[in-house]
A and B are shown apart, each in its own frame.
Chain A
């Protein structure tokens, strides 16, 4: 799985591409940990853009859950957006769409993830 970071204002957008399976989960968890810690200052918000994510298993859901929890404790807004149908199904069946903010696309997620720099 490819992971690319973009900064939009104070929000870090994590762009995923490929498959988040058992083999990819540990590396992704480490990368998200770095994002949440912040290179210099921690971000105000983190958005995971899943438009290019084809597949997620329970190993991947676990990483999303831990990141959402860590964000909540750190006071960082956390959201997921642009789920493909296959990933959406796994989110819905697992009930994760009820505990993690999921938006239709990046624009909707950014609109709900303040603040932009004044």
Chain B
């Protein structure tokens, strides 16, 4: 099962994208407990694109696609904004004290920890971030 949608790189698109994900979830009858990982990944990575990618002369387009294969769900977020690898961000110190805590990089850190696999490539003038996690046992 596969679905995709394309939106402008604009924070106002987030609720619609979340709904796109939730509709996929219902249609594929996936376990509710796993949805948080994907909702979080969608928000964190999409907002990263919104914050980092506005070249002169236009708003980047962001394509979000979902593909379910053998119980593994892959969320791919692609944009035609400036080259930016979110996986290059330094991991935050999650053991720092309250006063020393920083939130920068925390979103990407959460995504890396909660997904089974995350990979980035720059291809054809587009950033592609692919995130995969097993959401149910493979069918025998």
Q: Which residues of A contact B (CB under 8 A)?
A: 21-23, 55, 57-59, 61-62, 65, 68-69, 72, 85-86, 89-90, 93-95, 98-100
Q: Which residues of A contact B114 (CB under 8 A)?
A: 89, 93
Number of B residues with CB within 8 Å of any CB on chain A: 26
Asked whether B14 is an interface residue with its Cβ less than 8 Å from the other chain, the reply is: yes
Q: In the complex, are the beta carbons of A85 and B98 less than 8 A apart?
A: no
Q: Which secondary structure dominates chain A's binding surface?
A: helix
Binary CB contact string for chain B from 40 to 84 against chain A (1 if under 8 A, 0 otherwise): 100110010000000000000000000000000000000000000
Q: Which residues of A contact B86 (CB under 8 A)?
A: none
Q: Which of B24-49 contact A (CB under 8 A)?
A: 33, 35-36, 39-40, 43-44, 47
User: Which single residue of chain B is at the shortest CB-CB distance from A99?
Assistant: B98
Known contacts A57-B44, A93-B113, A94-B106; decide if A99 and B97 are in contact (CB<8 Å): yes
Q: Tell me how far the C-beta of B81 lies from the nearest C-beta in chain A, rounded to whole angstroms.
A: 18
Asked whether B7 is an interface residue with its Cβ less than 8 Å from the other chain, the reply is: no
Output the residue of A23, A58, A69, A89 with the most chain B CB within 10 A. A58
Q: Which residues of B contact A65 (CB under 8 A)?
A: 98, 101, 103
Asked whether B95 is an interface residue with its Cβ less than 8 Å from the other chain, the reply is: yes
Q: Tell me how far the C-beta of A9 lies from the nearest C-beta in chain B, rounded to whole angstroms.
A: 25
A52 to B110 CA separation, bound complex (whole angstroms): 22
Q: In the complex, are the beta carbons of A22 and B14 less than 8 A apart?
A: yes
Question: Contacting B43 at CB < 8 Å: which of A21, A62, A86?
Answer: A21
Q: Tell me how far the C-beta of A47 lies from the nearest C-beta in chain B, rounded to whole angstroms.
A: 17
Q: In the complex, are the beta carbons of A55 and B98 less than 8 A apart?
A: no
Q: Which residues of B contact A23 (CB under 8 A)?
A: 11, 14-15
Q: Tell me how far the C-beta of A87 lies from the nearest C-beta in chain B, rounded to whole angstroms.
A: 8
A58 to B44 CA separation, bound complex (whole angstroms): 7
24 contacts between A and B (CB under 8 A): A21-B18, A22-B14, A22-B43, A23-B11, A55-B36, A55-B39, A55-B40, A57-B40, A58-B106, A58-B107, A59-B47, A62-B106, A68-B98, A69-B99, A69-B101, A72-B98, A86-B33, A86-B35, A89-B36, A90-B110, A94-B109, A95-B95, A99-B96, A99-B98
